[in-house]
Amino acid sequence: MSDRHVDSFLEMLAAERGAARNTLAAYQADLEDFAVHARMRGLGPAEAGPEIVRSYLHGLSAGGLSARTAARRLSAMRQFFRFLAREGVRPDDPTELTESPRLPASLPKALSEPEVEQLIAGAATLPGKRGPLAVALVELLYVSGLRVSELVSLPAGALRADAPLVAVMGKGSKERLVPISSRAREAALAARGTPAKPSRWLFPSRAAGGHITRQAVGVVLKDAAIAAGLDPDRVSPHVLRHSFATHLLGRGADLRSLQMLLGHADIATTQIYTKVLEERLRKLVEAHHPLAG
């Protein structure tokens, strides 16, 4: 059952923040689940108090949902109630004193540097036009840290020979500049070749959007992994993005620079890589401190 306050919140996300369709669908699903819980207690979602918020989160935990899922739903509820407060629908935020569920510490599942080179070599062996395309996708994802959604929507003129940077439209319609190596640029242009008919996209396709889909990119990477002798379950666009970040940090990059390159709105999101930095500093001390031995 639709709720007018939830609908207004989703409209705001789309209009003011440029939220993507998948993001809106996730918010809607989370808030509708909370709305069912509230209605079972005789209230609409906009009328729920702190006790209903707490009982909802307790039910998620008792039902076996992960802390990560519960934290995501609480985040959706927080934004919803803050929106209602700004709009004057209610005077308070019932989630204000609710602590977010503790998330288990997790490290990015990155490939090693030799494995990335192995993946590129395997990609080049794929037959026909699939080989150059696979090489281009791996090179671009790994050298830039792009999200796969950002990669597939790159315009045809994105990679200019005279510019080492490419403008990328990220989450929330925020544009950022990302360095692109000449090697990756040449691989992308070789894969594109001369399209049968003009296209506005760097990687044109017969798909509905006119460009290669995220799913198709995933399949190409799995094929490249198999050709390279790597476990295909370890290779995905997101793994290459993690590998980009992990290897940069391992070679001396700082978190603030990495935040800008990855397009994270909040430095807290980038801090998942802190353990990579800690490991690098530990090795530095072990290798160079006079009393480390």
The structure tokens listed for 260 are 């800008």
CB 13 within 8 A of CB 27: yes
Residue 238 falls in the annotated catalytic set: yes
**Token pair 């950002």 in the structure block, residue:** 150
Catalytic site residue from 90, 176, 214, 238: 238
Residue 86 falls in the annotated catalytic set: no
CB 149 within 8 A of CB 135: no
Residue 206 falls in the annotated catalytic set: no
All residues at 6 or more sequence positions from 57 whose CB lies less than 8 Å from its CB, including other chains: 70, 73, 74, 98, 101
Catalytic site residue from 171, 176, 214, 275: 171
Residue 78 falls in the annotated catalytic set: no
Residue 37 falls in the annotated catalytic set: no
Catalytic site residue from 5, 37, 73, 147: 147
Helix, strand, coil tally for the chain in percent (to 5): 60, 5, 35
* Cα angle for residues 249, 139, 106 (degrees, 5° grid): 40
The structure tokens listed for 49 are 């108090």
Calpha distance 139→188 (Å, rounded)? 8
Calpha distance 102→91 (Å, rounded)? 28
Instruction: Work out the widest C-alpha separation in the chain, in whole angstroms.
Output: 68
Residue 109 falls in the annotated catalytic set: no
3-state SS class at 175: strand
- Main-chain dihedrals φ then ψ at residue 236, nearest 5 degrees: -160, 165
Calpha distance 135→122 (Å, rounded)? 9
**Residues with a known catalytic role:** 147, 171, 238, 241, 264, 273
